[in-house]
Chain A
Amino acid sequence: DAEITQSPRHKITETGRQVTLACHQTWNHNNMFWYRQDLGHGLRLIHYSYGVQDTNKGEVSDGYSVSRSNTEDLPLTLESAASSQTSVYFCASSDSDRSPGNEQFFGPGTRLTVL
């Protein structure tokens, strides 16, 4: 079955270190998204991509970067981790089918702690 996976599921790192969170989907979806979830804020958009070599900034993109070299993967990099980036990170993907209710499928999430 097609799926979307994230790794690692849990990570603890130190302030100032570079961290990369992986997202891999086998749906062959063109559209991929990264969100972060914090108490009291719901999910907020970090970056997104509509296809290979395409990346766009979201609401809370400062301190994060993404690159899209193939359809399946959209890794999220924290250039210099900060304690404010302690959060749960969700990757999602969706098809380019222009049908109503074309929902996003979410990965299981990565819990990141920055000490």
Chain B
Amino acid sequence: AQKITQTQPGMFVQEKEAVTLDCTYDTSDQSYGLFWYKQPSSGEMIFLIYQGSYDEQNATEGRYSLNFQKARKSANLVISASQLGDSAMYFCAMRERELGNTPLVFGKGTRLSVIA
């Protein structure tokens, strides 16, 4: 069975600083996909970034990058130049098979607060 662990219930970061949100995963599958979603206080789930298990390079999307360390089974989210609007819950998730449509398994989330 797949499992996602996010060990940081809450984090604070100064505006304009970079922050890393930790995510470790457990799976016996060779092929899998890793996702990060953002949930602002308004409640919607916003897709941020994706990393496939066979991707050799770390994924990047604007100010978001995913630090993928396959041997350590970690998929940390790095947010550069934090903004006040980045304050939200962040969820790490995975699915079996890199190419597929299977359900997601979520971590418990990390609440990020950006301080002016």
Interface residues of A (CB under 8 A from B): 30-31, 33, 35, 40-45, 48, 50, 58, 88, 90, 92, 94-96, 98-106, 108-109
Contact = CB atoms under 8 A, between A and B. Distances in A.
Q: Which 5 A-B pairs have the closest CB atoms?
A: A101-B50, A106-B45, A42-B106, A43-B106, A42-B108
A94 B91 contact: no
Contacts of B12: none
12 contacts: A31-B101, A42-B107, A42-B108, A43-B104, A43-B106, A92-B45, A98-B100, A98-B101, A100-B33, A100-B99, A101-B50, A104-B47
Given A35-B104, A50-B101, A103-B47, 6 more contacts: A30-B101, A41-B108, A45-B105, A106-B44, A108-B44, A109-B43
B50 A40 contact: no
A109 B44 CA distance: 7
Contacts of A99: 99
A41 B4 CA distance: 11
Contacts, number: 62
Contacts of A103: 35, 47, 50
A102 B52 CA distance: 10
A35 B33 CA distance: 18
Nearest to B43: A109
B103 A33 contact: yes
A88 B55 CA distance: 34
B101 A95 contact: yes
A96 B102 CA distance: 10
Contacts of B99: 98-100, 102
Contacts of A109: 43-44
B101 A102 contact: yes
A100 B98 contact: yes
